Every structure is written in C-alpha cells, then in structure tokens.
Structure 1
C-alpha cells in the first residue's frame, strides 16, 4: 500500500515536471517563431523598398536621355514653326490679325507642356514617389532662389487667363506705350512708336494699371491734336477736319468721327486745342493717320487764310 502511494506521488511529480518542461519548451518555441516572423517581415519590407525605389541608372539610361533630347529638339522646332506660320497668317489678314497673334503664346505654353509630359511620363517613367520627392525638393529650392522669376511666371499665366490684353493690342504700362508683340512667361514685349523693343516684367504689369487702346479689335481710336488761334472760326475748322478724316485711306467709317475744342494757356497766351478723334481700320496705321490729319488740316486752314504766321507769334 505504501509502495502504491509512493509510486502515485512519484508519477504525479513526474507529470508536473513534464508539464512544466512542455510549457517552457512552448514558450521558447513561440519566442523563436515570433523572432523568425519579424525577420521575415523585415526582409520582405527591404525587398519592397528596393522594388519601389528602382536604380537611378534605370530611370536615366543613355537611351532614355537620347530620346528625351530628340523630343526636346523636335518640340522646339515644331513650336517655332507653328508660331511663325501664325505670325505670317496674321500679317496677311488685317481682320484676323489680333486673333491669330493671340494664339501664339497659348500654342507655345501648351506645346511645351505637351513636350515635357511626353518626356517625363512617356520616356523616363519615374515612380510617383520619386516625382513627388523631386517636385518638393525642386519647388523649395527654386522658391527660395528665384522669387522674382516665379512672380513673373505667375503674372504671365494670369495674363493669359485674365486677358487684359493680347498680342497685337496697343497698351500703355507706366511710361511705355506700344504694340504687344510677345507675351512670355517672364516678360511682355512691346514695340514703342520709335521702334524700340521694351521688355516689361509680368509682375509689374499685374501690380500696375494697363491701358488698352483697342481691346482685341483690329481698329482703334486715334487722336490728332492741333493748336489754333483763340479767335478762329471753329465751325469751319470742324468741317475741314471732319472732311479730311472721312477721305483718309486709314479711317474706319463704321465708328464716329468727333472734333472737339479746348482752351489752353501757354506762355500766358490762350490757344484753342483741337482734338480730332477717329478710328483707323488697322492699329498699325495709328501714327500714319495722325500725321496725315495734321498735315491736311493745317494746309487747308492756311489755304483758306484761317491761320497765318502772326497767330503763333
């Protein structure tokens, strides 16, 4: 009986020992398994990172760089050719001159956007993460290095969308007046009456006031001014000036002709300033019409003895 009890106690002790060992073994195995799983996950993550971030030599290979240069050169030539064709067509047609010239800056910007899109998305094909990273880095660097340039570029884009003027318009910005020949991303080029080419930064145009003489139309108003004696017959002068404007080859008769008189004092002497307002069919004839009106009106007044040398002495 005692032997049975001893054997029972021994068996119970062995069972407890075996159970504890099994639990310890299970704990060790679980720990080893967790460590193994973590190592596998880390290896997989490193593999995914390598897969998501390809080598730069694969993105910017020599073949891709070659084709990018080919598309860049082809785009430059194509944009120049299309712009030149539009300029030639605009100069041949006075009616559609402003419209055709207004298409030139739009064609240039859209053309370069298309070329850059083909090069980036079609040739290099970088991952989205690379594009975002490069865009952020370049954006920050360029933003700090060229704030004035970015202001001009933003101004050029706003001019194209807001359209306060377009290529071919006669505008006045600050002390400059002339015809707009080009609207670029950095500046707007204007040809002044003395045939000087002036480049005005787009940021100055957006921050200042702009006077547009024709607002996209082919015709524009021209004002010829002549100083006359205070005692002159204004009725006859108005008739002469109106007739001179009506027979001009430059005049646009669909819009009214007006002759106005104002009193001005120069060197303590009163004069009448006559202002002849009329419209020309082509804005390029502005100064030719003004010169013609001045010559014809003064000659007619002298022939009719309405003015003489004594009136201006």
Structure 2
C-alpha cells in the first residue's frame, strides 16, 4: 500500500512537471515577434557585459525555484520507491536479503547526490565564484553550529566505505545487540531481541568496538548454555546435544556443531556449564534455535535420568 502511494505521488510529480513544461513551450510558441526580438536584444546586451556580477534574481528566479521543488519531490519519491522495492525483494529471499538491503543506504546517498547536482548545476547554474563563496560561508556556519551532526554524518559515510557491518547483520554495540535495519547519515537503527528499535549515533559506532555475528552472511553462530551437575556424564550429554542440534529445522549443517564444558562456581557450588555452539540458516532464527535446544536437551536429560529437579534447587 505504501509503495502504491509513492508511485502515485511520483506519477503526480511527473505530470506536474510535464504540464509546466508544456505551458512554458506554449507561451514561447504563442508569443509575438516583438517579444522575441526584445529577448534576443536583452541576451545580446548581457553577453557584452561579461565582467558584470550575476544578479541573484536571475539565479533564484521563480521558475527555477519551481523546477527545483519538482525535482526534489520527484527525487524523494523515486528514492523511496527504489528503496521499498529493494526491501520487498530482500524479504523474499533469505540468501540475498543482506546483499539487497546493503544496497539501500548506497542508493539513498547516491540518489540525493544526483538530485542535488541536477538542481545546482542544471537548474540554478550559479557562477563558480558564487558557489565557492557560499560554500565557505555555509561550511563555517554549519561547522560551528552542528559539530556533532557532522561527526555522525562522517561516521555514516565511513561505515558505508569501511563496511564493518551492513543492513541485515546482527551486531553488538555497547549494551545493544540486534539486527541492523537501517544505516543513515546520522544514526544506525538496530532492532533488539525484545523488538525495540534503537538508534545509535554513527559517531559512537566509529569510536567504539562493534561485534558482528554473521559478517554479511545469512547464517550465524548461536550458543545455547545450560548449567548441569558437576558429576554428570559429559559423554552422554554431548551425544544428546549434538543429536538435538542435527535434527533441528533451523540448523545449518555446512558448518560444525561443538559441545563444550566449563567449570563454574555459583553460590559456593560447582557446576558444569555446557555450551552448545551451532549455526542457523537464517540469523533471524537465532533465539528460536537457542530456546529449542534448551528445551530439547533438558527434556532428554530428564528422560534419561541424568538430571532431576533437585539438581536445579
């Protein structure tokens, strides 16, 4: 529904632009000869005065402002439509989801650069001296007023070039862990396991450490931890855990399954912490697989009378 709305707005903007262009052409065709002669004389007079500074009213005329707004609206709708199409295609394929979603921020940045270039160089066409003077003034003003925003923008650009992660990856930044849904110029958005959307400033990501669980692949490693009595039969436990992982509908068998044991002390009592490490085919199945392994392994251990309720009291 949102895609249909964007397409309708894009069609409306194109129709508006076409109508305006047709009206301008009609006005030129129906103009009398004297008006055209006056325009030619004015143009010749302007070419003779080469050293005269350009008039701001000529650079920022109402017609140019109108066309700039039309291109801004068309560019905004076009970028949203392309991003939405890529997102829909990505959600339909687990194998290419991360690759397609990684193209979305690139399309947005390149799209806006193209739109702004067309508006400045194609519509307003200011002299080079005016562009340099305006850029210097705006740069100094913006630099003092929004240093944090510029740091975030620079961080967003560096993330796109350095690619420590991309859209669709599972990352951990500080105390936040989740799937990257959007990489913007100001912040990166992450969906946590409890379905909370967290916006992390790009400057914090660039200045801190980032842990990437899958590094651009659809599969990722999952670790399920279970505390067991110190005297339990680890050989049998390893067999049960390995078999449970092998028959799971989430398992990615192209990578190894490992069962490790560690001794830990809690409340002055020793326990064995079993860590079942395996890979799932889709990173979104991470927590479902972890829950499934915990349930199946504990139930199998109870059925084999390797553990009982008193072991957890």
Under a length normalisation based on structure 1, what TM-score does the superposition of the two structures give?
0.84
Q: Distance in 2 between matches of 1:290 and 1:267?
A: 26
Q: Is the 8 A contact 1:52 1:127 kept in 2?
A: no
Residue 35, structure 1, aligned to residue 28, structure 2 = no
Q: Is the 8 A contact 2:226 2:275 kept in 1?
A: yes
Q: Distance in 2 between matches of 1:90 and 1:4?
A: 18
Q: Is the 8 A contact 1:219 1:279 kept in 2?
A: yes
Any runs of at least 4 consecutive aligned residues in structure 1 with deviations exceeding 6 A, and if so which? 1-50
| Residue of structure 2 equivalent to 1:133 | 133
Task: For residue 181 of structure 1, report the CA deviation from its aligned partner.
Answer: 0.4
Q: Is the 8 A contact 1:64 1:124 kept in 2?
A: yes
Cα-to-partner distance string for 1:223-261 (whole Å, 9 max, x where unaligned): 000001111110010000000000011010000000000
| Residue of structure 1 equivalent to 2:101 | 101
Stretch of structure 1 that moved more, 10-19 or 89-98: 10-19
Distance 1:136 1:300, change over 3 A: same
Cα-to-partner distance string for 1:7-42 (whole Å, 9 max, x where unaligned): 999999999999999999999999999999999999
Q: Distance in 2 between matches of 1:294 and 1:185?
A: 40
SS at match of 2:215: coil
Distance 1:308 1:57, change over 3 A: same
Residue 162, structure 1, aligned to residue 162, structure 2 = yes
Q: Distance in 2 between matches of 1:278 and 1:224?
A: 9
Task: For residue 192 of structure 1, report the CA deviation from its aligned partner.
Answer: 0.4
Gaps of 5+ in 2: none
Q: Distance in 2 between matches of 1:156 and 1:6?
A: 26
Q: Is the 8 A contact 1:258 1:276 kept in 2?
A: yes
Stretch of structure 1 that moved more, 26-35 or 66-75: 26-35
Cα-to-partner distance string for 1:159-185 (whole Å, 9 max, x where unaligned): 000000000000000111001000000
Distance 1:243 1:10, change over 3 A: closer
Q: Distance in 2 between matches of 1:98 and 1:165?
A: 10
In the comparison of the two structures, how many residue pairs are matched? 313
Gaps of 5+ in 1: none
Task: For residue 296 of structure 1, report the CA deviation from its aligned partner.
Answer: 0.5
| Residue of structure 2 equivalent to 1:196 | 196
Task: For residue 309 of structure 1, report the CA deviation from its aligned partner.
Answer: 1.1
